[in-house]
Chains A and B, each alone.
Chain A
Amino acid sequence: MTKPVLIFLCNALLLTAGPSLAQSDSPLRAPLPQFGVHNASIPDALLQAGQQSGVPLGIDASDPKLWKTRVSVRAQNANLGEALGQILAAAPGYTIAQDGRTVVIRRASGPGDLLDTRILEFRSVAGSAGDLSLKLWMTLVLQLSPSRQGFLGFNRTSPLDKLLPASDLSGKTAWEILDWIVGTHGSAAWVAVPFTGELGESSTQRDLWRLEFYPNRPGSSQR
């Protein structure tokens, strides 16, 4: 049985860097003619809904309980909002909001986390979504741990990634910047993962979030 679901639509978090969507163009109305997940974790189910609809998602899945809860959902001729609502029926206390082109699933209330950190300076030249996510991670770490001197690593770009325009997102929170990254990319999601440690020398971006690029759908045209 499907539990009744309340969907909150919040348009208050629109970023200046991205155009807002008229209500009739709401990504929550993106069609999902045949949607089904079986025994999937809630974040995985949400991601599948995002992939099938092609709508960028931001998923706060930093609560480990969200990964342990398994859901099975089948919906015919539904839209994205309805599918997300069915999935989140198993996770009370989560809201669905819209931030520019991105649909964001977050806890309705609770302690703030690292992604609520307001990034004082985030000016960027054009770069891939992966590189911008990397830059956000480094900026966040340096802002919280100013003694850190440098980063070394691996910045492989997904073949599904694309070049995003130069931007100035200074003053936005980390998750608002992530919304902008995936929303501007147009076919990706960010997923915050459970993080229990500290932002130490060996921590990585993947300790906090990861980007997921949607595979190209048959018959769809790449924007």
Chain B
Amino acid sequence: VDQVRTGAGVYVPADGSAVRLQFSVEVDANCSRPPNPTYYAYPQHSYLYTWSNIDPSFWLLAGFSLAQTNPPYYNQYCPNPYICPVAYGVASILNFVDFADFLDMRIPFRGVPYRNVYSEAYTLCASGTAGWTRKVFGQVFDVGGVAFVQDGIPMTEQVFLSSRNDLELSRFDTGNTTTSYDPYAQPPRHGAYDDWFFFCSKHCPGAEETDAIQTLIWNGFGLFHSNLLIYKCSGITVDGH
């Protein structure tokens, strides 16, 4: 009989497309019956879960090896986009499903700036242009407003210019960073990320404005709440901050 030995949820996208989980599985290598694709639901929870399509490579491997680490079968049900109870387990060749665990996984929701490092005219624009530069520290929160405090989480971003682009800015570079401890926060906190902005425009000085949408990506997970970036010759704001 197949047994789930260990399991750990490491990443949960909320669109239901994939859950990356790692398992250590003991497989009954003597069973060689083909899988039945209609028995992937755990009976007591079938009203919640519909098993995803099975990975045929797993079956092939499961039937012929004593240890299998991935990919497992997975499923998830999201009552809303922010909180996902996740069940994970494996279906054996005998169509027996053994759940390893259930988790209520917190979904990162938004990044919020909490500390301004500097916000000033950018003195290193190319000749004939002027602009602004700003650096902030921020933190990722779930929908309940609870901060994620893990250090070492890689973060990237996507920035899209909106239709309002009076300053005629062109995308330049997007950044990446890693969450870390911020000893200068009041109080000091873990899980902080640094966010840097600049622009230079021939329209500055002036009253024009460019708006952009920033989506932060935390550990490969695009946050649901995007930040509105407003660029003016006199400053840069991040979601009103």
Task: Answer yes or no: do A and B interact.
Answer: yes
The residue that A149 contacts in the complex, of B123, B202, B212, with Cβ under 8 A, is B202
Whether B203 contacts A149 by the Cβ 8 Å rule is yes
Describe A's contact surface by its main secondary structure. Answer: mixed
Which residues does chain A contribute within 8 Å of B200, judged by CB atoms?
138, 150-151
* Chain B 149-165 near chain A by CB (<8 Å), digits 1 or 0: 00000000101010000
Closest to A128 in B: B124
B172 neighbours in A (Cβ, 8 Å): 151-154, 204-205
Selecting from B38-46, B88-96, B100-108, B173-181, the interface stretch reads B173-181
B175 near A152: Cβ-Cβ < 8 Å: no
- B110-125 vs A, CB cutoff 8 Å, 1 = contact: the mask equals 0000000000000111
CB distance from B56 to the nearest CB of A (A): 37
Residue picked from A124, A150, A154, most chain B C-beta under 10 Å: A150
* Nearest-Cβ distance from residue A118 to partner chain B, whole angstroms: 14
- Shortest distance from the beta carbon of B128 to any chain A beta carbon, whole Å: 7
- Cβ of B75 within 8 Å of any chain A Cβ, yes or no, is no
Interfacial chain B residues near A134, Cβ < 8 Å: 124, 198
Binding site for A on B (CB under 8 A): 123-129, 131, 133, 157, 159, 161, 167-175, 177, 194, 196-203, 210, 212, 231
State how many angstroms separate the Cβ of A191 from the closest Cβ of chain B: 16
Report yes or no: B174 in contact with A153, Cβ–Cβ below 8 A: yes
B174 touches A154 (CB 8 A): yes
Q: Which of A81-100 contact B (CB under 8 A)?
A: none
How far apart sit A204 and B201, CA to CA, in the bound complex (Å)? Answer: 16
CB distance from A23 to the nearest CB of B (A): 35
A147 CB → nearest B CB, Å: 10
Interface residue total, chain A, C-beta cutoff 8 A: 29
Contact sample, A vs B, 30 pairs, CB 8 Å cutoff: A121-B127, A125-B124, A127-B124, A131-B124, A134-B124, A134-B198, A135-B124, A138-B126, A142-B126, A142-B129, A148-B170, A149-B168, A149-B170, A149-B201, A150-B129, A150-B131, A151-B170, A151-B199, A151-B201, A152-B159, A152-B231, A153-B172, A154-B172, A154-B173, A154-B196, A155-B133, A156-B175, A156-B177, A204-B173, A206-B173
User: Are B210 and A152 in contact, CB atoms less than 8 angstroms apart?
Assistant: yes
Alpha-carbon gap, A154 to B127, bound state (A): 19
Query: What are the 8 closest A-B residue pairs judged by CB atoms, nearest first?
Result: A153-B172, A150-B201, A149-B168, A154-B175, A152-B169, A138-B126, A139-B126, A150-B169
The CB with the most chain B CB atoms within 10 A, among A149, A152, A154, A201, is that of A152
User: CB within 8 Å of B: which of A14-59?
Assistant: none
Contact B198 A150 (CB under 8 A): no
Closest to A132 in B: B124
Q: Which of B123, B126, B161, B202 contacts A152 (CB 8 A)?
A: B161
The reply to whether the CB of A68 lies closer than 8 angstroms to some CB of chain B is no
Complex CA distance for A157 and B167, rounded to whole angstroms: 24
Which of B124, B167, B202, B210 has the most chain A CB within a 10 Å cutoff?
B124
CA distance A14 to B86 in the complex (A): 64
**Which residue from chain A places its CB closest to the CB of B170 in the assembled complex?**
A201
- Which residues of chain A come closer than 8 Å to B175, judged between CB atoms? 154, 156
Q: Which residues of A contact B126 (CB under 8 A)?
A: 135, 138-139, 141-142
What B residues does A156 contact at CB under 8 A?
175, 177, 194, 196
